[in-house]
Structure 1
Amino acid sequence: MDNPKLQKLPVVNFGQENLQHGTKSWSLARNEVRHALEEYGCFLAVYDAVSFKLRDSVFSALEKLFDLPVETKKKNTSDTLFFGYICDDRDPSIRENMGIENSTDIEEVKKFSKLMWPQGNDDNFSGIIHECANLLSELEQVVIRMVFESYGVEKLKCDSHIDSIMYVLRFNNYKAPGVDEKTVIAPPHTDKCLISILAPSQVNGLEVNLKDEQWIPVDFLPSSFVVMAGDALMFCRHGATTEYDLVFIEFI
């Protein structure tokens, strides 16, 4: 990781001036997004709509969530593989994953919260998580619109895709490695969704594989998130239909 030739992920700023459709700033950001996804498959999005205070509140809420007994967390089930609670059978603390489907729907988030805290003592878990999910879904919609527009996909088709998207919020908890220990917790993989947005905690460790097969570490910036292209994006960027109109928002 000390190799000076290692590349760095491109950075795209999503300040208010870049979010105004039809402006020069929008066009420049759109070109940066397309280039980044074509060349790297992902990029760092600087997006200060999610405040430091909200981000801290989210990770505090998740810490409380993962402190719950395993039997409680196992109530997070889903008919879709990998969307519910998953853990390492040998030691749940090594890796745990949980998920909320339709996370931009406050009722779905409340349903999850009620499942985890039947007595209602969730310290506004629902409000915190739903607010963050909504803000990140807005970022995703801007990215999708920029990508589709750059490839000449009709606005109506773009709108149709955005209207059909289901946002899946996924929470990840990993056991901290020992001093000088390098452990691969999540094996190399791609997602079948349109886009994944990764929200980092204070722990580094995420790496991405570039087109030249080089693995590079992700160095997060303040107020940044990783936006990654999913397998389905290459279909719908040309206006094709896909059964994977999903967006993953992951806290890692």
Structure 2
Amino acid sequence: MVELGGIIPTIDLKEVSDKILNQKIREAGERWGCFRVINHGVTLSLMYEMKKTVIDLFERPYEVKMRNTHVLPESGYMAPTVNTFCDQLDASSNQRETMLEYAKAIDGLAKDLARRLVESYGLVETDYFSGCPSLFRINKYHFKPETVGKPGVQLHTDTGFLTILQDDENVGGLEVMDNSSGTFFPINPLPNTLAINLGDSATIWSNGRLCNVKHRVQCKEATTRISIASFLLGPMDTDLEVPSAFVDVEHPRLYKPISYKGLRQLRITMKLHDGEALKLITHEGLK
């Protein structure tokens, strides 16, 4: 495990030993809540075509983009399926194929990483997140001279279990916070890699072992920045519960069971987006 393009670990997913690989992922998840991956199985050509498609879709006329009117609270516009999204934006057949292939590849990677985290703790049941839905969000930042030094995205944690980010390979700005010191570290561009962030659901499931990384995007220069974020969410209508293996006399159960929908609604209602909502679902917080 090496540090490239910043201080967070970079993990080679082609590690010969599954046990060693799983341990590296767990250590990075507990220490930072984030890491980069190389040899991740998503082809470079697919990553290139996906970004090319995203850039083209952002250039659609305003009236075309406004067909996408399903607003997910505090997350922008969202279509229920990739095909619906493609229909709304008049995507070509090649662009539709690219997005479907990309979504499938990233979903497979996300669930493989989740499985490896589960296995790293020696749990017998490893399919906790195999049935959880995923979604992806495309982002375009129009940074201007007057916005340099200001936030493009405020400090926050993600609600779901983990996020896979195909960041802009040329324009930086992503920063993560070290929970132990409160210091921010830049996640510098590193082409052909993917950044992994663990969210609130990972912290809940692991009974506090895994870190829900706080992160933000800062405007570093007056230019356009593109990123593609893919989210492995969590149980939508059933509760996410801490496995009994994580609970003993020395490690009491920290969190009440809660679904992804419930957690997200709590964050929105209480306007707590930087992990503070978890304090409300502790046994003390709900009394």
TM-score bracket for this pair, using the shorter chain length: 0.7 to 0.9
Mapping of residues 156-235 of structure 1, within 5 Å: 158-163=126-131, 165-178=132-145, 181-202=148-169, 203-211=171-179, 212-235=181-204
Aligned residue in 1 for 2:36: 44
1:178/1:84 CA distance change after superposition, 3 Å: closer
Contact 2:13 2:38 in 1 (8 A): yes
Q: Return the offset for 1:198.
A: 0.8
CA distance in 2, matches of 1:81, 1:181: 27
Query: By how many angstroms is 1:115 displaced?
Result: 1.1
| Aligned equivalents of 1:223, 1:217: Cα separation in 2 | 18
Shift of 1:237: 3.3
Identity of aligned residues (%): 24
Separation (CA, whole Å) in 2 of partners of 1:232 and 1:48:
23
Q: Which has the higher contact order (CA 8 A, sep 6+)?
A: 1
After superposition, what is the alpha-carbon deviation per residue over 1:152-176, rounded to whole angstroms, capped at 9, x for unaligned?
A: 3332xx314211x111110000013
Counterpart of 1:74, as a letter, is M
Runs (5+) with no aligned partner, structure 1? 1-6, 19-23, 86-98, 102-107, 246-252
1:110 to 83, 88, 93: 83
1:59-101 Cα offsets, whole Å, 9 max, x none, are 111111111123322322336424542xxxxxxxxxxxxx454
The residue number in structure 2 matching 1:92 is none
Deviations 1:192-251 (A, max 9, x none): 111111111232111111111110111243321111110011222365354228xxxxxx
- Aligned match of 1:72: 64
Which stretch shifts more, 202-211 or 70-79?
70-79
Q: Residue 28 of structure 1 aligns with which residue? A: 20
Please list, as runs of the form range in 1=range in 2, the aligned pairs for 1:7-18 lying within 5 A after superposition. 8-15=7-14, 18=15
TM norm structure 2:
0.65
**Contact 1:43–1:227 (Cα < 8 Å) also in 2:** yes
The correspondence of residues 241-252 of structure 1 with structure 2, limited to 5 A, is 242-244=258-260
Cα distance change of structure 1 residues 79 and 220 upon mapping to structure 2, 3 Å threshold: closer
Question: For 1:29-50, what per-residue CA distance to the aligned partner results, in whole angstroms no more than 9, with x for missing partners?
Answer: 1111111111111001113422
How many angstroms apart in 2 are the aligned matches of 1:177 and 1:9? 28
* C-alpha distance in 2 between matches for 1:220 and 1:141: 24
Tell me the alpha carbon deviations over residues 10-41 of structure 1, each in whole angstroms, 9 at most, x when there is no partner: 111112xx4xxxxx611111111111111111
Taking a change above 3 Å as real, the CA distance of residues 180 and 113 of structure 1, as seen in their structure-2 partners, is closer
1:248 counterpart residue number: none
The number of residue pairs the alignment matches comes to: 208
Q: TM-score when scaled to structure 1? A: 0.74
Distance 1:183 1:227 in 2: 24
In structure 2, the residue corresponding to 1:124 is in which secondary structure? helix
Counterpart check, 1:122 vs 2:92? yes
- Is 1:59 matched up with 2:51? yes
8 Å CA contact 1:195–1:227 kept in 2: the answer is yes
Instruction: Tell me which amino acid in the other structure corresponds to 2:198.
Output: A
Structure 2 residue runs of 5 or longer lacking an equivalent are: 1-5, 208-240, 243-256, 262-287
8 Å contact kept, 2:33–2:198: yes
Change (3 A) 1:161 1:170: same
